[in-house]
Structure 1
Amino acid sequence: MTGLEMPEVHEITKNVLAVTNLYHASGKRGTNAGIIFTGNEAVFIDTGMTIASAEFLWETALSRMNQKDLHLNVILTHHHSDHVFGMQLFKEKKATIYAHENVRDFLENDRGQYKQFILDNFFDDPKKGDKILGDVILSLPDHFIEKDTILFDDEVHVLFTPGHVSSELSVYHPDSKTLFAGDTIYEGMSPNTRFGGSNEWRTWISHLERIKKLDIDTIVPGHGNLCSKDEIDNNINYLKELLK
């Protein structure tokens, strides 16, 4: 693989996989993603920050597909580069892309500006960074999700959980009791709050409280290790401290 990542694949069940520690340009803790197989569908949660990360997700899924004619889907938890820069690989494979309406301003009519921003702000050597990120091409999703939505015969529940950013989605798989939280939940590190203020943090807390009511055995955070519901309170308490 290109880049510095050493991703790990976690088999939560035979049909639910978490992929942790995908490449992140900050050099800190990597980015997480997920794969759900249900019926004739393969559902990828996020696409990583590099084309190599997207390829790793694809190869991981391909090695576990019990049939090769599955319809491919991608749910983007939000618009940040470490979650969407790999989307073109899945577009080329005819995947159906889902995201919240609020990704529009960041993905529509992009002509490489977002990638250039990352190269200028995260890499000492932009040429090296360009090789690491790969051929990033951003485009609008096929379907916008504006509220809690159930997909694929009640197998995949997409939750609107803004707070970190206004486009934030989480993905709940009731059968395996797994939550793919995107950046709604962080493990082993403080939540990234620099994209909002007190109003956004209160909204964030309200959605974390809502998530606590779900029957969850495993949380796949946007960053950090797989964790239990206990991590939700750690995130809530951090945000509450900011509001004091």
Structure 2
Amino acid sequence: MMIFPTMELMDGRCVTLDKGRLDEPMVWHVDPVETAKSFAAAGAEWMHITDFNALQGNSDNVELIEEIIRTAGIPVQLGGGMRSRETIETWIDKGAGRIVVGTLAALDPALISDLAKHHPDQIVLAVDVWEGQVMTEGWRQAGAFDPSSFIAAFGSDPFAGIIVTDIDSDMSDVEAQLGLISKLASEAKSPVIASGVVRGADDIARLKYINNISGALVGRALFRKTLTLEDALQVAQPQPEPVAEFL
């Protein structure tokens, strides 16, 4: 299972949000570029960035993200504010390894299907769920879709992955989140990446045995130091199957 160490950026700083509330960010006093390099040094094969400024329609983090893409040493999966083909393809041209789309997929599914076919293994579908509905506009707008129907509408489009976030489940109720994620993973044609469920190593250990879960975003736990990236990567490795001894 792939671990995506995750960095959420606002005004050039690493932050985490409580249920997507942009007005109450928890700011982490670290250097984003050096933090990205540390992900690579720890052995991560990918990292994930969400640009909260882009979600609000401004480009304040563009130069910072470009620097991270150039210098991190691992490919970047980038989400936030991807509202047009031009924006998505511009970031692909700038070297982003994968682009995450959510709102645009709800507004123009035909465009996202076309992009997935033209950029195989580079488009990731974001499915953010609140009270059984897919949310858009950075978790601020309820859509008209239930998550199963939303995923099914894209059929076998060649997404690099589908990120599933259960927004309304409290972090203390990981069982409920795992229930939703495992259900959607069993229905999806593309591999599912779990978001918002990793507090510690035990959560990774459980995730890796759910069918069609290919990865997990891990951010808050790393910044809070309840989990090291080295431990997360180690736990995510497949365990060798026991081999019977023949006498």
Q: Tell me if TM exceeds 0.5.
A: no
Structure with larger Rg: 2
TM-score category, normalised to shorter length: 0.3 to 0.5
For normalisation by structure 2, the TM-score amounts to: 0.33
More helix by share: 2
For normalisation by structure 1, the TM-score amounts to: 0.33
